């Protein structure tokens, strides 16, 4: 009986220690990008827009977390939030559907987030539903682009500037562990 209790105790301590080490190697990265939705857009057919290239802060964050780009094991998009910052007071009430895709040199485009059937009661901020896709290789590239596919159901009478924040969950090896 003592042997079984001792083995269970050692197994539990080992499991808890591994979980604590795993937590040390996990953190989030918040990349931001901006885009402009042009005035005059009003169509029930999807329209594509690309963001300027996004330079990820992944390398800086990895250094701050005692790691490197080559030590990334996994990257998943946890949250994607979009905020209209110009004109002030403008809401996403013109938007019916939106899909976001990530691309990087030499890698295939992947859908990363979407929101569908948005109503007129939305504010100037929306949180998209994220896809459970692996994005390690995209952040390792350092620079990537985001393509937005939007479907609007109202006429837009002036350009709308949108700032998006992508919150990535990163699991990386830590130097020395």
Contact 73, 177 (CB under 8 A): no
| pLDDT (tens digit per residue) in 109-162 | 999 999 999 988 999 999 999 999 999 999 999 999 999 999 988 888 899 999
What is the predicted pLDDT for the residue at 70? 82
- Residue 34 sits at φ, ψ, to 5 deg, of -125, 150
Tokens of 126: 């929306």
CA 47 to chain CA centroid, Å, is 21
Question: Residue 145 has what pLDDT?
Answer: 95
- Residue 109's nearest CA partner among 130, 127, 135, 128 is 135
Q: What is the DSSP letter of 51?
A: P
The reported pTM is 0.81
Question: Strand, coil or helix: what is 74?
Answer: strand
Q: Which tops the pLDDT comparison, 111 or 5?
A: 111
Cis peptide before 64 (omega within 30 of 0): no
Span 50-109, pLDDT tens digits: 888 898 888 787 777 777 778 889 999 999 999 999 999 999 999 999 999 999 999 999
| Segment (H or E) for 151 | strand 143-152
Dihedral-angle region of residue 3 (phi above 0 means left; psi in -120 to 50 means alpha; beta otherwise): alpha
Mean pLDDT across the chain: 84
Cβ neighbourhood burial of 68 (10 Å; 0-12, 13-18, 19+)? middle
Q: How far apart are the C-alpha atoms of 70 and 59, rounded to whole Å?
A: 10
- Is the pLDDT at 12 greater than 80, yes or no? no
* Per-residue pLDDT at 172 exceeds 60: yes
Return the structure tokens found at 153. 């159901």
Determine the pLDDT at residue 31. 94
pLDDT tens digits for 36-67?
Answer: 988 876 666 788 888 888 988 887 877 777 77
Could you say which architecture CATH assigns to the domain 27-172? Sandwich (2.60)
pLDDT at residue number 160: 93
Please name which of 11, 21, 25 lies closest in space to residue 171, comparing C-alpha atoms.
Answer: 25
Mean pLDDT confidence for 161-165? 96
Cα–Cα distance, 7 to 17 (Å, whole number): 15
């Amino acid at each position: 009986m003592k042997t079984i209790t001792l083995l269970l105790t050692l197994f539990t301590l080992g499991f808890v220690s591994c979980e604590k080490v795993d937590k040390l190697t996990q953190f989030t990265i918040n990349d931001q990008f901006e885009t402009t939705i042009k005035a005059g857009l009003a169509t029930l057919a999807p329209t594509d827009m690309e963001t300027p290239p996004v330079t990820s802060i992944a390398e800086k964050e990895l250094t701050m977390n005692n790691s490197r780009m080559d030590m990334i094991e996994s990257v998943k998009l946890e949250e994607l939030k979009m905020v209209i910052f110009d004109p002030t007071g403008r809401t996403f009430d013109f938007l019916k559907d939106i899909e976001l895709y990530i691309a990087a040199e030499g890698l295939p485009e992947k859908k990363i987030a979407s929101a569908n059937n948005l109503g007129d009661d939305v504010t100037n901020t929306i949180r998209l539903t994220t896809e459970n896709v692996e994005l390690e290789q995209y952040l390792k590239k350092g620079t990537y682009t985001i393509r937005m596919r939007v479907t609007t159901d109202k006429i837009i009478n002036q350009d709308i500037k949108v700032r998006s924040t992508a919150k990535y969950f990163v699991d990386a090896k830590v130097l020395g562990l």
